[in-house]
C-alpha cells in the first residue's frame, strides 16, 4: 500500500518581489495603463507649453547656433508651468512645514489655501462622477448630470433660505436632503421613461439638461427665488444655519461637503460590490439578457439606477451651494455636470477610481488658475490635459501600442457597457 502513495507535488518557488512588480508593470493592467496615460498627457502638455512660450520658440529658431539655450528655455517654460500648477493645487511643502512650525494661525491658513481650493473643486466633480459611474455600471449612459446638478442646487437653495428660524442641526440635513430629492427626481424621469416606453436615456437626460437650466433661469425671475429688490437674476442667500461648516473652523473654504462626498464614495463602493442591488446593477451592465434570464426586473432596476444617479449628482449641486456659493445665478455650475462624465470614464466606472480622478481634476482646476496668473500659459491648457488624459484612458490600446505592453485578461476593461 505504501508503495502506491503518490508523492505531493512540490510547491513552486515564490518569485522575487521585484520580478513580480516588473511583470505587473509590463502586463498592461488598469493601473499601468492609467499611469502611462497620465505621463503621456503631461508629455503632450509639455510640448504645447513650449509651443505657447515665445522665448522657447525663439530659442528653437536658433537651435543650430545654441542648442543648449533652446533646451534650457524649454525646460524653464515647462518647469514654471507645471510648478505653478502644483503650487496652485497643493501648495508649497516648505511653506506648509514652516507655517506649522511657527504656530501662527494666519500663516497656516495661507499655506493651506491651495489644498483647500482643490478640495472645493473636487467635491462636486466627485459627486457628479459618482452618480454617472453608478449609471454606467447598470448599463446606462446618464448624460443628464448638468440638469441634475442644477436641480440639486435649486432644491438645496430653496430649503436653505425658506426656514430662517430652524437650528443648524436640522436645517443643514434638510437642505441636503432637499437637494438630493430634486436631483433624484431629475434622474427618475429618464429612468422611468426608459423603463416604460423604451426611450433612450441619452436623449431624454440630455434634453432635461436644457429644461433644468432654463427652469433655473425662469425661477430667478420669480418672487419665490429671486433676491429683492428683484433687479438682478440672482437668488436669495442661503441663511447661515443651512450652510455646511468648514472642516477646519477657519476661513478656508473646504467644508463638510468633501467629507460627505468621501463617505458616499465608500457607500457606493459597498452598494456595488457587497449588496444584492449592486450585484444586479453589475449584471445589467455586463449582460442585460443574462440578467433578465436570472430573474432581474430590468425596467425596475433601470429606474432605480437612474434615480440614485440623479440623487448623487444632485448632492454635488447641493454641496456647492451650501458650502461655497450660497446663492444661484443663471450660469450656475459651469460645466461640472458634463465634466462628471469624463471623471467617471477616467475612474473606469469604479467609486475609488472616480474619487481619485475627481481629486486630479480638482487639482487641475485649482492649479490652472495659478498657472495662468504666474505664466503666460492660458487656462485652456488644463482642459487639453484633461481631454488627452481621458482619451488615452478610454482608448487603452493606444497606450499599449505606444509603450509596447501586452494585454492581460482584464487589461482592456474600462467599465460595464451601457444601453445600446
Average pLDDT, the chain: 86
**Count of Cβ atoms closer than 10 Å to residue 13 Cβ:** 6
Q: What's the confidence (pLDDT) of residue 420? A: 37
Q: What's the confidence (pLDDT) of residue 105? A: 79
Q: Is the pLDDT of residue 409 over 80?
A: no
Mark residue 123 as left, alpha or beta (left: phi above 0; alpha: psi -120 to 50; beta: remaining).
Answer: alpha
Stretch 357-367: mean pLDDT: 91
State the pTM of this model: 0.86
Q: What's the confidence (pLDDT) of residue 214? A: 93
Q: Is the pLDDT of residue 20 over 80?
A: no
Q: What's the confidence (pLDDT) of residue 15? A: 62
Q: Is the pLDDT of residue 280 over 80?
A: yes
Stretch 242-269: mean pLDDT: 91
Q: Is the pLDDT of residue 202 over 90?
A: yes
**Alpha-carbon gap, residue 352 to 268, rounded angstroms:** 9
Q: What's the confidence (pLDDT) of residue 262? A: 96
- Range ranked top by mean pLDDT from 10-24, 80-94, 115-129, 384-398: 115-129
% of the chain beyond a pLDDT of 90: 48
Q: Is the pLDDT of residue 410 over 50?
A: no
Provide the pLDDT confidence category of residue 213 given band limits of 50, 70 and 90: very high
Provide the pLDDT confidence category of residue 387 given band limits of 50, 70 and 90: confident
Q: Shortest CA distance to 383 belongs to which of 360, 356, 365, 357?
A: 365
Q: At what angle do helices 17-26 and 30-51 cross, to 10 degrees?
A: 60
Stretch 255-276: mean pLDDT: 95
pLDDT digits (tens, 9 = 90+) for 111-166: 889 999 999 999 999 999 999 999 999 999 999 999 999 999 999 999 999 999 99
What is the SS3 string spanning 219-261? HCCCCCCECCCCCCCCECCCCHHHCCCECCCCCCCCEHHHHHH
Q: What's the confidence (pLDDT) of residue 386? A: 78
Q: How far is CA 134 from CA 79, 299, 363, in A?
A: 38, 16, 23
Interior angle at CA 204, CA 341 and CA 184, nearest 5: 70
Q: What's the confidence (pLDDT) of residue 162? A: 92
* Range scoring the smallest mean pLDDT among 179-183, 365-369, 374-378: 374-378
Q: What's the confidence (pLDDT) of residue 107? A: 84
Strand partners, 226: 235
Q: What's the confidence (pLDDT) of residue 61? A: 86
Amino acid at each position: 500500500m505504501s508503495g502506491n502513495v503518490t508523492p505531493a507535488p512540490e510547491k513552486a518557488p515564490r518569485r522575487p518581489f521585484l520580478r513580480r512588480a516588473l511583470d505587473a508593470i509590463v502586463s498592461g493592467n488598469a493601473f499601468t495603463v492609467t499611469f502611462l496615460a497620465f505621463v503621456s498627457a503631461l508629455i503632450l502638455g509639455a510640448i504645447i507649453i513650449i509651443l505657447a512660450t515665445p522665448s522657447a520658440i525663439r530659442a528653437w529658431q536658433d537651435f543650430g547656433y545654441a542648442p543648449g539655450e533652446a533646451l534650457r528655455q524649454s525646460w524653464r517654460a515647462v518647469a514654471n508651468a507645471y510648478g505653478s500648477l502644483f503650487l496652485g493645487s497643493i501648495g508649497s511643502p516648505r511653506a506648509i512645514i514652516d507655517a506649522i512650525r511657527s504656530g501662527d494661525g494666519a500663516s497656516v491658513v495661507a499655506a493651506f489655501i491651495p489644498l483647500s481650493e482643490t478640495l472645493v473643486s473636487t467635491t462636486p466633480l466627485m459627486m457628479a462622477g459618482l452618480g454617472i459611474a453608478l449609471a454606467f455600471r447598470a448599463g446606462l449612459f446618464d448624460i443628464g448630470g448638468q440638469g441634475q446638478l442644477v436641480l440639486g442646487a435649486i432644491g438645496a437653495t430653496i430649503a436653505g433660505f425658506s426656514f430662517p428660524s430652524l437650528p443648524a442641526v436640522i436645517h443643514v440635513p434638510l437642505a441636503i436632503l432637499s437637494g438630493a430629492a430634486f436631483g433624484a427626481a431629475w434622474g427618475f424621469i429618464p429612468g422611468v421613461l426608459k423603463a416604460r416606453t423604451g426611450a433612450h436615456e441619452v436623449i431624454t437626460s440630455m434634453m432635461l439638461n436644457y429644461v433644468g437650466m432654463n427652469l433655473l433661469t425662469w425661477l430667478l425671475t420669480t418672487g419665490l427665488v429671486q433676491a429683492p429688490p428683484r433687479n438682478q437674476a440672482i437668488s436669495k442667500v442661503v441663511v447661515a444655519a443651512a450652510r455646511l461648516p468648514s472642516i477646519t473652523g477657519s476661513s478656508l473654504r473646504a467644508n463638510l461637503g468633501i467629507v460627505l462626498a468621501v463617505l458616499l464614495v465608500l457607500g457606493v463602493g459597498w452598494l456595488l460590490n457587497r449588496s444584492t442591488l449592486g450585484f444586479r446593477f453589475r449584471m445589467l451592465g455586463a449582460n442585460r439578457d443574462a440578467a433578465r434570464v436570472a430573474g432581474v426586473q430590468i425596467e425596475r432596476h433601470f429606474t432605480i439606477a437612474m434615480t440614485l444617479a440623479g440623487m448623487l449628482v444632485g448632492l454635488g449641486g447641493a454641496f456647492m451651494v451650501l458650502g461655497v456659493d450660497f446663492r444661484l445665478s443663471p450660469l450656475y455650475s459651469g460645466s461640472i455636470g458634463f465634466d462628471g462624465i469624463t471623471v467617471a470614464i477616467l475612474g473606469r466606472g469604479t467609486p475609488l477610481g472616480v474619487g481619485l480622478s475627481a481629486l486630479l481634476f480638482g487639482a487641475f482646476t485649482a492649479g490652472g488658475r495659478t498657472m495662468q496668473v504666474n505664466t503666460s500659459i492660458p487656462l485652456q491648457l488644463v482642459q487639453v490635459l484633461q481631454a488627452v488624459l481621458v482619451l488615452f484612458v478610454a482608448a487603452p490600446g493606444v497606450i499599449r501600442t505606444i509603450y509596447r505592453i501586452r494585454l492581460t485578461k482584464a487589461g482592456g476593461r474600462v467599465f460595464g457597457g451601457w444601453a445600446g
